[in-house]
Structure 1
């Protein structure tokens, strides 16, 4: 709990400094015009929503806690070589999904044939 609030404070300071340096939205190279910064901003905002919901009300926001999974992606935004790796993984997902569906189709066909022989 303490570390979560600590890192939320660090991420907030980083976001504020970037917003001051780049502008928020209207400038050509603004903070929210970059996809990685948009991800960072989303992680920070959902972090504050979960912190305030835990302290003030009895509302249970388990779905927003799932956004914590995106925090390691926030670290990718600062390292360009990891961005290249992540982009290539995302591009490889569509062909891998197609191959997976083809394998699944083959397994289903062979399972049906196996049931008929049994």
Structure 2
């Protein structure tokens, strides 16, 4: 499977250029960079499969990124991911406001219930002996 992806990259680089051949160059698109990284990690892990170095074991984790190649093929998923990335700053601001309210109510709860939960009230419990 990696060989097909490698051939695809070679065809795209041949058609559009690698980096400096204008705005349609292969490495000027984020999704092509992602494909290049994933295929590079896959090739490195194939070449270094016999070597037991820790660095190459870490690179094998890159195989987890293979499903991300689907994102570069589906335009709808690309738009969804880009919209999610654009909305992250607004979500972080909202999270900060929610955390502020959480802290305020936590402090209020501590002040309201302080000292009331330090002992056990066993008068409401009746104990019966079973045989």
Bigger Rg, structure 1 or 2: 2
Please give the residue correspondences for 1:1-118 in structure 2 after superposition, counting only pairs within 5 Å.
6=1, 8-28=2-22, 29-55=24-50, 57-61=51-55, 63-118=58-113
Partner SS state of residue 90, structure 1 = helix
Equivalents in 2 of 1:66, 1:58: separation in Å? Answer: 14
> How many residues of Structure 1 are paired with residues of Structure 2 in the alignment?
111
- TM-score of the superposition, structure 2-length normalised? 0.72
CA deviations on 1:69-99 (whole Å, 9 max, x unpaired) are 4333322222222221111111111111211
Instruction: Verify the 8 A CA contact 1:53 1:60 in the aligned structure 2.
Output: no
Give how far 1:63 is off.
4.1
CA RMSD of aligned residues (A): 2.0
Please, which runs of 5 or more residues in structure 1 have no aligned partner? Answer: 1-5
Structure 1's 106 and 66: CA in aligned 2 closer, same or farther, altered over 3 A? farther
Please, which runs of 5 or more residues in structure 2 have no aligned partner? Answer: 114-131
Instruction: Verify the 8 A CA contact 1:24 1:32 in the aligned structure 2.
Output: yes
Partner SS state of residue 77, structure 1 = helix
